[in-house]
Each structure stands twice: as C-alpha cells, then as structure tokens.
Amino acid sequence: AQTVTQSQPEMSVQEAETVTLSCTYDTSESDYYLFWYKQPPSRQMILVIRQEAYKQQNATENRFSVNFQKAAKSFSLKISDSQLGDAAMYFCASRIQGAQKLVFGQGTRLTINP
C-alpha cells in the first residue's frame, strides 16, 4: 500500500524568502511518480512539479524545486523568492506505474507574509 505523510499542517514565510515543505512516502513499488499540487482558495488543484522515481536529478520548475531522497523516501518542495500568489494548500502525492490513482498527503497550508 502507498502512504504519503506531510508532517507540517501549516507553514508561513516572508515574501521573497525561501520555504521548504516536507513530505515522506512509502511504497513497495520500484516504479512510481511523485507530485506536488497546489490548491488555492478557488479549490482548483494545480500541478506544481513532478518527479519520476527512476530519475536521480531533482526536478525544477522556475522558483520551485524538489529534494528527492529515494532511499529515505523523502520528497520536499522548495519555493524560492516566495510571492503572495504562492499562498495555498500544498499537497504531496504519489502514483505507481500502471495506475492513475493518486495517493495524497494531508496537505500543508502555506501563508505568505508581506
């Protein structure tokens, strides 16, 4: 069975600073994918970044990057130069190869202080 755990229910950061959101996961599969999704107050779930487990290189998307530690089953999200528009709930999710089902963590509410 897959599980995803986000241990930080809430985080806050000053605008323009850097923040890291934590995520750990567990799976017995060798081929899987990891995601960070953002859910702003509009409730629209937006993909932030994805990582294929077979890739050693950490994924990056502009100000967003991940630290993927496969042996430790850790997948943290770093947001650089935080902007007010980054305020949202952030969900870590996993998916195994051969299935579309996403398993989500409990979410981290990120607040950006001006």
Task: By CB under 8 A, name the binding residues for other proteins.
Answer: 33, 35, 37, 42-47, 50, 52, 91, 97-107
Both tokens of residue 90?
């952030």
Q: How far apart are CA 40 and CA 110, in angstroms?
A: 10
Residues in the chain: 114
In the complex, the smallest distance separating the C-beta of residue 108 from other proteins, rounded to whole angstroms, is 12
> Toward other proteins, which CB reaches closer, 12 or 97?
97
In the complex, the smallest distance separating the C-beta of residue 18 from other proteins, rounded to whole angstroms, is 25
In the complex, the smallest distance separating the C-beta of residue 25 from other proteins, rounded to whole angstroms, is 14
CA R_g for the chain: 14
In the complex, the smallest distance separating the C-beta of residue 85 from other proteins, rounded to whole angstroms, is 18
Which is nearest to 45 in space by CA: 95, 112, 102, 100?
102
Whether residue 46 contacts residue 38, with contact meaning beta carbons closer than 8 Å, is answered with yes
> Toward other proteins, which CB reaches closer, 68 or 105?
105
> Toward other proteins, which CB reaches closer, 82 or 110?
110
